[in-house]
Structure 1
Amino acid sequence: MTDKKKPVMKQRLVGVTLDEASIGRSNPDVEHERAVAIYDLLELNQFAPVGHDGGPYTLHLSINDNRLVFDIRSEDGTPVVAHLFSLSPLRRIVKDYYMICDSYYQAIRTATPDKIEAIDMGRRGIHNEGSRILIERLKDKVTVDMDTARRLFTLICVLHWKG
């Protein structure tokens, strides 16, 4: 019997942290989204800083002076690159995402399945739009696939949330 191991991808994230000082007080729904996004992100992702052939990587996300900071390091903690992005292009979509998430969380407690499904479809659409914006903003700096962008967008929303 042969032991088939899953191939190890180097161009991926093996650790993600969020700056606790950047995170506002949040509710249990937001904390759950955060935990699931980090877990799913670490399970399967494609993350490759442009011009760097190393990896795997760790990522520390924070907000500093109204800018989103991607602090990318090698697995052993050696700095690779830090990118700062304006939050302006994401502001509207993050606000829309939180409004529809609030509607969704209220609906799952009291609404009919049809109403919940309709709100969830809208929520997923806004989430996908935010993920596409993120891919576009990262394109010359970090290569990510759509699933990785979706999970990163969720984490950016958590950072942006001010309770």
Structure 2
Amino acid sequence: AALARAHEFVRPHTEASQPTVGATTLHTFLADLFRAYSDDTGAPRVHISGDDAVFDDQAATSVALLFHELATNAAKYGALAATAGRVELATRRDDDRFILTWTEIGGPAIEGPPERQGFGSSLASLSVEGQLGGRLHREWAADGLRIVVDLPATALSRRRAAEKDRLQPL
């Protein structure tokens, strides 16, 4: 359902069918994507904190694929597979970069990196490195997986960045 909502956000619209919710932010988009992983009371198990960013449909598919893969893996093998487990997703702007840090807490102990990289992990790397022009770093700590995604700040809202460049005097 979360991927379907992401698809609705990115699909082409006519003027009449265009969503009227206004600008979407990264935190809003991700909170909607992670709603499926809430606990039995509806409380989020993926906590998002830090700097938010305006977010457009050009980045949505890559971001949705990346975080859907991370959440799915956490639900199968990581922190979200344990009743008390949770994920902290910290976001911060650092000059011309936007850093997202995914930290799994309270899951089963990790013995090290997997012996092989699956299709989903390859797709996550391709989304970050190929589509968004960033870097993805995985740390397989015994107490939980930590992933750092380092993106150009313009990767999340290419239209806004292009408009800003167009409006600057030569």
Higher relative contact order (CA 8 A, sep 6+): 1
TM over 0.5: no
Q: TM-score range by the shorter chain?
A: 0.3 to 0.5
TM-score scaled by structure 2? 0.31
- Which has more helix, going by share of residues? 1
